[in-house]
Amino acid sequence: MALLEVKNLGISFGGLRAVNEFHLHIEKGCLYGLIGPNGAGKTTVFNLLTGVYRPNEGIITLDGEPIIGKKTIEINKAGIARTFQNIRLFKDLTVLDNVKAGLHNHCKYSTVEGILRLPRYFKVEKEMDEKAMELLKVFDLDQEARTLASNLPYGKQRKLEITRALATKPKLLLLDEPAAGMNPNETKELMETIRFVRDTFDMTILLIEHDMKLVSGICEELTVLNFGQVLAEGKTGDVLNNPEVIKAYLGE
């Protein structure tokens, strides 16, 4: 069974049909790419998958469970986490607290226990500190745990955003243009990080990206979106050699 199954998804904004008859089938553990020209509807697809937008029609199931109609927070709890095109960290919080914010989705003390600072609050907070530090160590960010997120270099901010998303324990990780604004060295390191995340956490990853080196280097399968519709899909090599794809996108 596919981890993510999307059928006949569509949404209009006024007269603009942003996504039309869109489908996607992603197996567990796959590193999958969603590519297409500017304005093709890629981020809109992410917003539909994460409950930011409600589609006009279509079906989305995660691990067999329908998720349309759920709130963003519920979809995150069901197992979808994302990062953003423009990094959205809590810039005035420390690196550690950013990761703890991700862990809070599975927080095991009540609001009352938190406000009254009951013993359970301290116990759970300590556990979260330890878990966050473990994750930061995996990503070689533990030395910067007390640094403000805004003071990290750009490449590490991207890494921290991925770490925070993983803290929510997703089944599916969505990365929206992770290489945007990166220099070639940072992009190379990012590719290793993405592969590492997939292998270490047995993660399924769907990423939007314009950097074709990254796409051809790490994605096993691709869907090409054009004017909100699927133009091509399949194994990365086949899709990138498809004449229609070259004409509509790569040949630009």
Binding-site ranges for ligand ATP (CB under 6 A): 13, 16, 18, 36, 38-44
Give the pair of three-digit tokens for residue 236: 């990365």
In angstroms, what is the minimal distance from the CB of 10 to ligand ATP? 12
Name every residue whose Cβ is closer than 8 Å to that of residue 239 and which is 6 or more positions away in sequence: 221, 222, 223, 224, 232, 233, 245
Nearer to ligand ATP, 43 or 216 (CB): 43
In angstroms, what is the minimal distance from the CB of 219 to ligand ATP? 16
In angstroms, what is the minimal distance from the CB of 102 to ligand ATP? 24
Do residues 218 and 191 touch, judged by C-beta distance below 8 A? yes
In angstroms, what is the minimal distance from the CB of 89 to ligand ATP? 20
Q: What is the rounded distance in angstroms from the CA atom of residue 40 to the CA atom of residue 224?
A: 9
Nearer to ligand ATP, 97 or 233 (CB): 233
In angstroms, what is the minimal distance from the CB of 176 to ligand ATP? 8
In angstroms, what is the minimal distance from the CB of 12 to ligand ATP? 9
Nearer to ligand ATP, 132 or 205 (CB): 205
Phi, psi of 228 (to 5 degrees): 80, 0
Nearer to ligand ATP, 35 or 128 (CB): 35
Nearer to ligand ATP, 48 or 166 (CB): 48
Nearer to ligand ATP, 16 or 118 (CB): 16
Rounded to whole angstroms, what are the CA distances from 44 to 17, 186, 228, 229? 11, 26, 9, 12
Burial 14-51 (b: 16+ CB within 10 A, else e): eeebbbbebebebeeebbbbbbbbeebbbbbbbbbbbb
Strands, sheet with 65-66, edge to edge from the N-terminal-most edge strand: 16-26, 4-13, 57-62, 65-66
Stated as kind and residue range, the H or E segment containing 120 is: helix 119-138
In angstroms, what is the minimal distance from the CB of 57 to ligand ATP? 17
Residue with tokens 């095991």: 108
Nearer to ligand ATP, 43 or 229 (CB): 43
Q: Of 162, 156, 164, 154, whose CA–CA distance to 101 is shortest?
A: 164
How many C-beta neighbours within 10 Å does residue 160 have? 23
